[in-house]
């Protein structure tokens, strides 16, 4: 599902205009991104948890040339689905 499809679905389900739905969806993603950037954890009950994982720097290898490459430390978003979401996906199979 793309952002545009999400906006259309939300507008249809909530019975609001597409423009209003776009503002709501954008506000949600902005708030989520800002919270993660501040190092906070975001918990959406019955959906899952978003958090930031920090990874140390290490020496990697370029698979094409075989030369050693320094990979700097990084912070990446991490999502852990809730039990309810996992069960729902299992039922959908």
pLDDT band at 10 (very low <50, low <70, confident <90, very high): very high
Which residue has 């503002």 as its token pair?
23
pLDDT band at 48 (very low <50, low <70, confident <90, very high): very high
Tell me: do 36 and 49 sit in the same domain. Answer: no
User: Which residues lie closer than 8 Å to 70 by C-beta, 6 or more apart?
Assistant: 57, 59, 60
CATH code where residue 55 lies: 4.10.520.10
The residue segments making up the domain with residue 75 are 41-93
Tell me: do 26 and 49 sit in the same domain. Answer: no
Tell me: do 67 and 88 sit in the same domain. Answer: yes
**Percent of the chain residues past pLDDT 90, beyond the cut:** 98
Tell me: do 1 and 32 sit in the same domain. Answer: yes
Tell me: do 53 and 90 sit in the same domain. Answer: yes
The answer on pLDDT for 78 being more than 80 is yes
The answer on pLDDT for 92 being more than 90 is no
pLDDT band at 9 (very low <50, low <70, confident <90, very high): very high
Which residue has 């969806």 as its token pair?
25
């Amino acid at each position: 599902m793309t952002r545009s499809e999400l906006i259309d679905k939300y507008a249809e389900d909530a019975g609001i205009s597409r423009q209003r739905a776009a503002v709501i969806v954008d506000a949600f993603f902005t708030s989520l991104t800002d919270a993660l950037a501040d190092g906070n954890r975001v918990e959406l009950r019955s959906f899952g948890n978003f958090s930031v994982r920090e990874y140390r720097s290490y020496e990697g290898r370029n698979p094409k040339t075989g030369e050693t490459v320094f990979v700097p430390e990084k912070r990446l978003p991490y999502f852990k689905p809730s039990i309810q979401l996992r069960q729902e996906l299992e039922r959908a199979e």
